[in-house]
Amino acid sequence: MANHWPPLAPYGDPLPGVDLTGLQGKLIVIEGPDSVGRSTQVMLLKSWLEQVGHAVLDTGMARSALAGRGIQRAKDGNTFGPVTMTLFYATDFADRLENEIIPALRAGFVVLTDRYIFSLMARALARGESRTWLEELGGFALAPHLTLYMRAEVNDLVPRVVLGRGRFDFWESGMDVRLGPDMHDSFVRYQARVITALDRMAGKYNFEIIDAARPPMVIFRDMRRSITRLFRKTKT
């Protein structure tokens, strides 16, 4: 059953010392498993939103000034443990929330984010971490105005990896917890767990589910309609 957090209200305890007053912008989240096509949709949506007159901040996981480079170095060395990974990504998210997302919302921007606290939680759940702990850890996140969940089956993702990058990524395959004898099998099992975790969040956190097995421009048109409805609703 869906919960009804007001947009831009924290799910739990807010970040200490962070002013949440005067937030005028819109927070729009694009969620989904790895290789589902989120980056393409963020690029298309950002261009469209700017064309129709909105100032847009686009952001995403592991891009913070505080933690982004450290996450990449740890990933390059395959040195993360599951709990360390979760805490590192939570630090990245908190830094971006305080220093990028909230200031942009205060200035009236549309904040378009490629994944949110939900992906952090889904990845950790796929690695066997506690749902209760994760919900408490991520409670400082602000409820978005709109979460568009690009949903696809694992069988839709595998060809995109093979045809796109030509190889499976160590972390996207969950090889740190090694769910299969090789990257392909581990990818399939790990991403299936991520999708299951996101599916279970969809009702609670009011995701709008987008069928991501379709062509990119069809997906974009659906997302554009959803965002247009959001702006019309908030004007009335």
pLDDT digits (tens, 9 = 90+) for 51-72: 999 999 999 998 998 888 888 8
Per DSSP, 153 falls in state: -
Sheet with 26-31: list strands edge to edge.
56-60, 110-114, 26-31, 146-151, 207-211
* N-terminal to C-terminal alpha carbon distance within the chain: 27
pLDDT at 236: 58
Measured in whole angstroms, the distance separating CA 153 from the mean position of its chain's CA atoms is 17
In CATH, what number does 26-231 get? 3.40.50.300
pLDDT at position 2: 58
Predicted confidence (pLDDT) per residue in 171-227, tens digit: 899 998 889 999 999 999 999 999 999 999 999 999 999 999 999 999 999 999 999
Question: In the chain, where are the structural domains located?
Answer: 26-231
Going by C-alpha positions, the residue among 80, 97, 86 that lies closest to residue 29 is: 97
Please check the confidence at residue 3 and state whether its pLDDT lies above 80: no
pTM (global) more than 0.85? yes
Structure tokens at 125: 């759940």
- Selection from 118, 82, 130 nearest residue 197 by Cα: 118
Closest CA to 117 of 1, 222, 230, 15: 15
Dist. CA 37–CA 24, nearest whole Å: 29
